[in-house]
Chains A and B, each alone.
Chain A
């Protein structure tokens, strides 16, 4: 009987943030094909909204790209107005991929050996 372990998303995926106005898009790209089903099951729109709750996001829309084993996560109204209005040092929100990559993911024991990077 195998048990699951909980790790941050960056052990399974990488990504990059882009911005247009007050909308952020963050790619989540599986490091390995084996991780893709876990991302689809757990990096949900609701999970993303919770991860960014302090920024009061509007709609979160997830676009799945199975052939790339990647998803594009679009988060509305999350940039305090965007690059022209935000008071953030990072007014583009370029660092936000690293906030999403901290999302906790439950990984079955048989995949634990494939995780990327130090635990």
Chain B
């Protein structure tokens, strides 16, 4: 039996809000390499899906990644022509809607119609499935409920001939495991190989965070070309081991240190990294530089996947009110502290008010103000007071922006630059549901079926 050629998976987005011009160099590099290749976009954070569900309520044709056009249009024709498959969760709350939009884009570009599959089954908000998670969301105003699906329906769609696979909620690494599973034909209980591909997907899923993004610290951790960062490509071999690299001529850096930071990012127990596909173990993982901007990951092993899938339920949690005002020059810090004291008196009874002195301390501190209270008042000369509170009731929350604005005439001398914001907040609760109760599957979407 001959070994299939090396699979390359490139990632051109690590979250909704990432740069939208990353795909071009990644696709160029995948095409230049010549072998089987897949382009992924990861655009679906926990809350992104709830926001998409709200968008779909307003517009039944919406609810998918709002920047879909910007992400796909520059590379769609080249990917179709060269046979680079595309896999993404940019379907969000409406994968079929995204699929129809992709068919529209292809028509507008004058390319042939791609074979687009959608993966469905993650959305558990329908009446028939609420009982699966209702115990975890008792009394909450629920916005969305989605299970984290795994790689299998993605692999099934690719094996059936899909050129583009549009998902909603799937585990981020599964965007990479799906193509590897389809390409190499691993057994679905080949835990070591699935775990290795999972960690390749983990390294890719935040885009440039493995290739020099979110790493730079001038003079100590220097990264060239941050304005033209190259997004990562994983070369995944038949055993699932991977080498992480990036397109030639792009900015950024890939070395053992950038890879270690991303390998442990949002991991808890490194010996039990849970996904729907496998429990990955990086306790004996090793990384080594095998060339310029090339790092190989080995030593990953795997254990049997969990019997349950994680479900995230997003719900409304009231309002977040924020306000800011600046003080500069002599006794600026004292005037900012006085403004905070005035706001505490005016907003008494509304619940805890957080106050930060931007330019003194604003981030390391805790909501209760223990940190700020421990700092001796200083003499900072350029200070921006920032206050925040949450409230279940919108009218009550609105009092904060009004009181911050009123500091213009009632507050300390010389305050300027008031900005305020009032936002609805979403919360998340999680639970586990039996895997067999979540019937995930793919289907093709054509213009006729749309």
Q: Which of A63, A65, A86, A99 contacts B367 (CB 8 A)?
A: A86
Considering the chains assembled together, what is the distance between the CA atoms of A70 and B284 in angstroms? 11
Number of A-B contacts (CB under 8 A): 110
In whole Å, how far is A77's beta carbon from the nearest beta carbon of chain B? 11
Q: Are B427 and A18 in contact (CB under 8 A)?
A: no
For A63, the chain B residues whose CB sits under 8 A away are 269-271
Q: Which of B267, B363, B371, B427 contacts A72 (CB 8 A)?
A: B267
B268 an interface residue at 8 Å Cβ cutoff?
yes
| Given A27-B265, A67-B286, A56 contacting B366 (CB threshold 8 A) | yes
A34 an interface residue at 8 Å Cβ cutoff?
no
CB contact list, B264-308 vs A, under 8 A: 264-271, 282-287, 299
Considering the chains assembled together, what is the distance between the CA atoms of A85 and B366 in angstroms? 12
Residues of B in contact (CB 8 Å), total: 51
For B264, the chain A residues whose CB sits under 8 A away are 16, 18, 25, 27, 29, 65, 70, 72
Q: Are A80 and B268 in contact (CB under 8 A)?
A: no
For A54, the chain B residues whose CB sits under 8 A away are 365-366, 370-371, 374
A87 an interface residue at 8 Å Cβ cutoff?
yes
| Given A18-B267, A20-B268, A70 contacting B260 (CB threshold 8 A) | yes
Considering the chains assembled together, what is the distance between the CA atoms of A87 and B388 in angstroms? 6
| Given A18-B267, A54-B374, A95 contacting B285 (CB threshold 8 A) | no
Q: Which of A10, A72, A116 contacts B270 (CB 8 A)?
A: A72
In whole Å, how far is A70's beta carbon from the nearest beta carbon of chain B? 5
CB contact list, A39-97 vs B, under 8 A: 54-56, 63, 65, 67-68, 70, 72, 74, 80, 83-90, 95-96
For B283, the chain A residues whose CB sits under 8 A away are 65
In whole Å, how far is B33's beta carbon from the nearest beta carbon of chain A? 28
Q: Are B363 and A87 in contact (CB under 8 A)?
A: no
Residues of A in contact (CB 8 Å), total: 38
For A14, the chain B residues whose CB sits under 8 A away are 217, 220-221, 257, 261
Considering the chains assembled together, what is the distance between the CA atoms of A43 and B371 in angstroms? 22
A113 an interface residue at 8 Å Cβ cutoff?
no
In whole Å, how far is B271's beta carbon from the nearest beta carbon of chain A? 7
In whole Å, how far is B136's beta carbon from the nearest beta carbon of chain A? 13
Q: Are B266 and A87 in contact (CB under 8 A)?
A: no
A106 an interface residue at 8 Å Cβ cutoff?
no
In whole Å, how far is B446's beta carbon from the nearest beta carbon of chain A? 39
B114 an interface residue at 8 Å Cβ cutoff?
no
Q: Are A84 and B268 in contact (CB under 8 A)?
A: no
For B46, the chain A residues whose CB sits under 8 A away are 83
For B286, the chain A residues whose CB sits under 8 A away are 67-68
Give per-residue flags for B366-404: 1 if the beta carbon is below 8 A from chain A beta carbons, else 0: 110011001000000000001011100000000000000
B219 an interface residue at 8 Å Cβ cutoff?
yes
A119 an interface residue at 8 Å Cβ cutoff?
no
Q: Are A68 and B285 in contact (CB under 8 A)?
A: yes
Q: Are A84 and B428 in contact (CB under 8 A)?
A: yes
Q: With CB as the reference atom, state the residue of chain B lying closest to A70.
A: B260
Considering the chains assembled together, what is the distance between the CA atoms of A63 and B217 in angstroms? 25
Q: With CB as the reference atom, state the residue of chain B lying closest to A15.
A: B261
| Given A67-B284, A84-B426, A25 contacting B363 (CB threshold 8 A) | no
For A16, the chain B residues whose CB sits under 8 A away are 214-215, 261-262, 264-265
For A23, the chain B residues whose CB sits under 8 A away are 268
Q: With CB as the reference atom, state the residue of chain A lying closest to B426.
A: A84
Q: Are B285 and A84 in contact (CB under 8 A)?
A: no
Considering the chains assembled together, what is the distance between the CA atoms of A31 and B264 in angstroms? 16
In whole Å, how far is B388's beta carbon from the nearest beta carbon of chain A? 4
Considering the chains assembled together, what is the distance between the CA atoms of A108 and B247 in angstroms? 42
Residues of A within 8 A of B (CB): 10, 14-16, 18-21, 23, 25, 27, 29, 31, 54-56, 63, 65, 67-68, 70, 72, 74, 80, 83-90, 95-96, 99, 116-118
Q: Across chains A and B, which 5 residue pairs bring their CB atoms closest together, nearest first?
A: A18-B266, A87-B354, A27-B264, A87-B388, A16-B261
13 contacts between A and B (CB under 8 A): A14-B221, A18-B264, A25-B264, A55-B371, A67-B286, A68-B263, A68-B285, A80-B367, A84-B47, A84-B317, A85-B317, A88-B367, A116-B220
List 10 other contacts, CB 8 Å, given A54-B370, A74-B269, A88-B365: A16-B264, A19-B266, A27-B260, A29-B257, A65-B264, A65-B270, A67-B286, A87-B388, A95-B363, A117-B220
